[in-house]
Amino acid sequence: MKILLTGANGYIGRRLLPALLEAGHEVTCLVRDRRRFLDAGTPSSTEGDIPRERVHVIEGDLLDSSSLATIPDDLDAAYYLVHSMGSSSQAFPELERRSAANFAAAMKQRDCRRIIYLSGISNADNLSTHLASRHEVESILASESRVPVTVLRAAIIIGSGSASFEIIRDLVEKLPVMIAPKWLRTRCQPIAIRNVIDYLVGVLGNNQTIGRSFDIGGPDILTYQQMLLGYAAERGLKRSIIPVPFLTPRLSSYWLYFVTSTSFPLARSLVDSMKNEVICAETTIRDLIPLELIPYRAAVARAFGKIEQGLIPSSWTDALSSGSMESRFLDHIRVPGHGVLTDRREVEFERDPDEVRRNLWKIGGDNGWYAMDWAWRLRGAIDKVFGGTGLRRGRRHPTELRTGDALDFWRVLVADAKSGRLVLFAEMKLPGEAWLEWQILADPERPAGHLLRQTATFRPSGLAGRLYWYSISPLHTLVFEGMARAIVERRIGEQVDQSGEVS
């Protein structure tokens, strides 16, 4: 079949694409920036071999209807896997409406047999803003596209890298005793990411699913408290939860934001949704597409199996809304050279350049920043207080980096292992813009033969930006000099934390 996949760079899209290709389909991926697409550079080892002849990449922004002209005219199916819930904008329902309307208008002009949309279970009367928006998107796609729509409505998705799983993980791993709001008693029906992908692929080959909506969930119906304690039991941790009635939705949002790796807009949307029970009202899909549904604790165990093996193909932080950057963030790749303040460090070395490159590629997350980690943690805490991302996003994989990855409060712009070049762009709260760049260079004229060049670049915004830079300049000698030397000198295996887990 000829398939259009929107959201190909997202959490679900990155996992669905290999499954569609394995099933023999030809896939056109609609992305906002082709440079960020997983096939645009060197594939991660977690992605396997991509059959390039069956993957086509087109650029388009669903908020800009004129950019969708390149969508193919002849399609067997189109997956709609985009949403704006994590956006920093308070008007994400309007963004959802615009995106859905533009997509529906584009599909109306094309020969497409069906649209497949992954939505949220919305069986309650008083829906949260998030679930109401998802339900409205279903209506827009069905009424304005004139294409039959298959809707799969899921509750919490459990899998390595999913926002829900990472929030549960943060809460249980970090808090032996949790003072938690009353919404922990709300029931839901979590589903394993493996089953979600199976359903998304399965409906393609079943004509009885065309034009219909289905609730999809796992075999367990649990409260959020039971999910937290079930995670703790699976991990062999003793945890206590004390529900309290006085945490308002806003206070609950701040609680999630400061304790976990989530952004505040996402925390606010999730807390708002937790007032609604998300349980399958009907299970017809189980008869049409029989699957072995994975229980909650088994899904947690599978997720950690992936984490421990370093096989995490996607994370919720892949979405740019997990930070503060605009969609075409790769336009920042060319680090500016004028109107900026810089700190450059160069360290000569004789050892194998690939060893230095491996040290560099491990930077951040649980591996730390090689020098004065307490200062980086303090900067992350300050960033959280001022509404930034903080350090808790960690990294997707303990040793691999790819373009678009979130890396603590940075975003990876360039991760060229072959040339030994790594460029990060700051997503922390700053009075300006900041880049960190490393280059591993061969230099026969130097006695050591090789050189690590580390450059911190800051483009200040007005006087406040300059005052910020000069006020922290005394720390640069300690932090940046120590970091560059440690990257060069540290021997493989000397890192304090070699667990391989991703925070």
How many Å apart are CA 89 and CA 500, to the nearest integer? 34
Q: And the tokens for 360?
A: 């560099």
pLDDT digits (tens, 9 = 90+) for 134-190: 888 999 999 898 899 999 999 889 987 777 787 888 778 878 888 777 777 888 999
Q: Find the mean pLDDT for residues 240-265.
A: 69
Quick one: which of 245, 229, 249 has its CA closest to 237? 229
Say if residue 412's pLDDT is above 70: yes
- Mean pLDDT for all residues in the chain: 81
Question: What is the Cβ-side half-sphere exposure of residue 267, based on CA atoms within 13 angstroms?
Answer: 23
On the CB side of 187, how many CA atoms lie within 13 Å of its CA? 10
Q: Is the pLDDT of residue 33 over 80?
A: no
pLDDT tens, residue by residue, 451-460: 999 999 998 8
The total number of residues shown for the chain amounts to 503
pLDDT attached to residue 497: 41
**Taking the complete model, does pTM exceed 0.85, yes or no?**
no
At residue 162's C-alpha, the angle toward residues 224 and 425, to 5°, is: 130
DSSP letter for each residue of 201-270:
HHGGG-GGGTT-EEEE--S--EEHHHHHHHHHHHHT---EEEEES---HHHHHHHHHHHSS--HHHHHHH
Structure tokens at 376: 């980086």
Tokens at residue 127, please?
């829906």
pLDDT digits (tens, 9 = 90+) for 66-120: 999 999 999 999 999 987 654 444 577 888 889 999 999 999 999 999 999 999 8
pLDDT for position 271: 66
Rounded distance between C-alpha atoms, residue 343 and residue 170, angstroms: 34
Q: What percent of the chain has pLDDT over 90?
A: 36
Residue pair 331/414 in contact by the 8 Å Cβ criterion: no
Give the CB-side neighbour count of residue 124, counting CA atoms within 13 A: 20
Q: Tokens 């890298």 — which residue? A: 161
